Amino acid sequence: MDIIPVIDLKSGQVVRAQRGERHLYAPIRTPLSPTSRPADVVAGFLALHVFRTIYVADLDAIQGTGTHFGCIAELEAAFPEVSFWVDAGIGTGVEAALWLAAHRGDLVLGSESLCDDALIARLSTSPRNLLSLDFRGEHFEGPARLAKEETLWPDRIIVMTLARVGSHAGPDLDRLQEIRAKAADRHSLYAAGGVRGPEDLQLLEQTGIAGVLVASALHDGHIGAKHLEKTA
């Protein structure tokens, strides 16, 4: 199972995510990095473990207040061994094409941002795209048919439970099992939100999850180098 660290970018800094309440996110303070600069935090993750993939949420782009496209390009250049998965608030096919042409990483299309029927129809045929199914509580954020019609899904699906992000409340197992039943073996599922420590990693692996997005448990030391070696 892949362990994928997360960095949330806001106003040029990595911030600490808390239950999807983005207006409350403050610059990260972590023993893994001397500052909240994106490059320092990524370097801190890589000093802890040789991660192959890092997930980036461009919160300014998602909220329509700016972008971190230049910052992300700098990370791609500085860390060529890392594949970056980026949610940049992309909602249309034109935006997606421009982003993919400018970056070498993979594009995460968050359901909360998707508004282009033509792009939705092409999701299943785009090898560099991932779909994030975004949930806030019991409410699905995005076009309703995206949650229901698995034929629209690309190979890789992130199940994002926003209210559990940074909460240490545990992964949303019921929702993951529900979506896994729809996905069967046709899609790889990645869990996001609520992971507390190695016990949750073991449980998710046993349920057939392909990977998990983690931030707080890494920064707080609940998942350390010895746990990551076991999952490699």
Is residue 99 over pLDDT 90?
yes
The pLDDT assigned to 19 comes to 61
Per-residue pLDDT tens digits for 147-188: 989 999 999 999 998 877 866 778 999 999 999 998 888 899
The Cα-based distances of 130 to 125, 159, 230 in angstroms read 11, 11, 26
Q: How far apart are CA 32 and CA 180, in angstroms?
A: 33
CATH assignment of the domain containing 167:
3.20.20.70
Is residue 132 over pLDDT 60?
yes
Band the pLDDT of 126: cuts 50, 70, 90: confident
- 3-state SS track over 37-100: CHHHHHHHHHHHCCCCEEEEEEHHHHHCCCCCHHHHHHHHHHCCCCEEEEECCCCCHHHHHHHH
CB 156 within 8 Å of CB 206: no
Q: How many Å is the Cα radius of gyration of the chain?
A: 16
The pLDDT assigned to 21 comes to 66
Band the pLDDT of 142: cuts 50, 70, 90: very high
**How many domains is the chain partitioned into structurally?**
1
* CA torsion angle 172 24 7 89 (round to 10): 80
Mean pLDDT for 43-66 is 96
The pLDDT assigned to 166 comes to 67
Q: Which of 68, 63, 65, 72 is nearest to 22 (CA)?
A: 63
Q: Give the range of the structural domain holding residue 42, as residue numbers without chain letter.
A: 2-231
* Strand-pair partners of 156: 188
